Amino acid sequence: MLFRSFFHFLVGFMGSGYYTHAGGGTNFVCLTDSPIYGKVIGGFQGTGAIYGTEYETSGFPGLSNLAQHDAPCAVCYVRKRGSQIMIPGTNKCPSGWTREYKGYLMSSHYDHAHPSEYVCIDEGAEAVPGSHRNTNGALLYMVQGDCGHALTCGPYIHGHELTCVVCTK
């Protein structure tokens, strides 16, 4: 189960804009697995759109088994801890904070038309069962440090994939 230390109140599918589209929403959202519709016009209208999200992790140790699978998600609630922070570039929380999970920083490809937010994907990430096919949509790639372009080389190593941690207090 994703986010084993959390109490789940919404589980579903990760969604965002199509990787080649220049418009639409840029953030990743957690789409419910039980949508309820109001008034609708039948057929695709060519307006705003949202797509499922697919892992692009082939060749990355530990997460290559997720490649071409769809990404699930969970909106989580932690009792008695009201603040949450995602810290990229480390897998440790500051003193006094509780680590909920650690993993890898992911985002859309730097050269694709559709930007996205950075998200922390659990190192024990799962895939939507039965979703192994290359259908595209929104795509998640490992984020690497590109030092030398205002990111300091020394603490950061050019081309290394970044870890991340989600902490609560």
Most confidently predicted of 2-11, 69-78, 93-102: 93-102
CB 108 within 8 A of CB 142: no
How much is the pLDDT for 7?
Answer: 41
β-pairing verdict for 51-55 and 72-77:
unpaired
Using one digit for the tens of pLDDT, what is the confidence trace for 109-139? Answer: 999 999 999 999 999 999 999 999 999 999 9
Using one digit for the tens of pLDDT, what is the confidence trace for 39-70? Answer: 888 888 877 888 999 999 999 988 989 999 99
Bigger pLDDT: 37 vs 169: 169
* Three-class secondary structure of residue 161 per DSSP: strand
Using one digit for the tens of pLDDT, what is the confidence trace for 158-167? Answer: 999 999 999 9
Where does the pLDDT of residue 3 fall: very low under 50, low under 70, confident under 90, or very high at 90 and above? very low
pTM to 2 decimal places: 0.81
Whether 75 has a pLDDT exceeding 80, the answer reads no
CB 84 within 8 A of CB 12: no
d(CA 77, CA 160): 32
d(CA 29, CA 121): 13
Q: What are 132's two structure tokens?
A: 């192994």
